[in-house]
Amino acid sequence: MLSLFKKKLIKISVCVPVCGTQKLLPACLESICSQNFCGFEIIVVDDEGIGRLKEKELNTKKILKEFCKKHKSPNFCVKLVQHEKNKGLVEARRSAVYAAAGKYIMFVDSDDFLLPDALSALYEIAEKNGADIVHGRAKVKTEQDLKNLSEKDKKFLENRILEITKKITNVFAGTDCRAEGFLCKDEILNGFLVQRNHCGFLWAKLFERELCLNAFEKIPPVYCVFAEDFLVYFFLAFYAKKYAGIKNEVYSYCVDTGISSEKKIYSLEQWKKVCSAASASTVLLDFVQKKDIEAKNLTEAEIEELKKTCRYYARNNLEQLKKAVIPELQLQAYEELCEWWGKEMIKSVEK
């Protein structure tokens, strides 16, 4: 998959995890390769699992083969990492970071897009200011034309876009999603957890690879596809030395337009993915409660906010159980929920 590109020339590794989103991957790759930046690699991590891949006509390896035939550029190269089995988003991103050759890492979801000049804008600020986190602006996009939907589905999608937009712009805190300007050391974690002056999504940010390695060293192998950004960004913010928030729009977040998939959960396999938010909370609470030697650097306010967020995810899972899981699976789903979170936590959020 590699072009005639020397490893030492790679400045940024753009990491793209893929699992069940192969049909959207080509458009994502096009947005990355069209960057006016010389010296980056695209690392695609296929988390589908080898067995499941064989069952699919459209697989990641074929997509990348066609992509590389189409784009023979001296500006970038492409690398594929395949998991033997599905490991979840945290492990897909870990694999990408370990395989990366660049000084910096950028995470891009396979159903999203990089905006023009994104890599140049982020890299310039990182190098000029010695920032190990550079945070640009993101915008929300939907691929589906609202006028082609029924009134019921149109209303649902409009509400979904509003919900995502609020998360991105951090409306509840009355601020943008990023803290414009600079934050240093302890200000970064405190700003994220307590002041909420910037969000914890991994996209729209550039990270130093060394910072990512430090963060993943604290995260044990874990299956997690929900709350995974919160888990990883906590440790990134914990170890970061300098954060820079910039005005440039660098990322397009695409709202899931699979409307029916937002309404109901029909299988325990689907439900287990939702419950995996408990894995993120377990790692974070263990870090605090087992009194990791470095956890002593956290303030009481930060610990309290961390615990509140973990409880929020547990409560959110419980609400999803009541609203989304089909009646036939309710009992089994509740037992599964208690298995992931522990009965004590679920009983406490039920009150």
State how far the Cα of 239 lies from the Cα of 185, in Å rounded to an integer.
8
- Predicted pLDDT at 72: 79
Q: pLDDT digit string (tens) for 162-220?
A: 555 555 444 333 334 666 789 999 999 999 999 999 989 999 999 999 999 999 999 99
Q: Which helix (H) or strand (E) holds 304?
A: helix 300-324
DSSP string, 181-201: EEEETHHHHHIIIII--S---
According to DSSP, the β-strands at 242-254 and 76-82 are unpaired
CA angle 191, 305, 217 (to 5 degrees): 75
Pick from 4-8, 23-27, 311-315, 341-345: least confident: 4-8
Distances (CA, A) of 59 to 15, 50, 93, 257: 18, 10, 19, 22
- At a CB cut-off of 8 Å and minimum separation 6, what does 191 contact? 179, 183, 197, 198, 243
Instruction: Say how far apart CA 5 and CA 257 lie, in whole Å.
Output: 37
Give the mean model confidence (pLDDT) for residues 211-235. Answer: 96
pTM for this predicted structure: 0.88
Q: What is the DSSP letter of 295?
A: G
Question: Does the pLDDT value for residue 156 go beyond 60?
Answer: no
Q: Hey, what amino acid is at 201? A: F
Rounded to an integer, the average pLDDT of 6-18 is 88
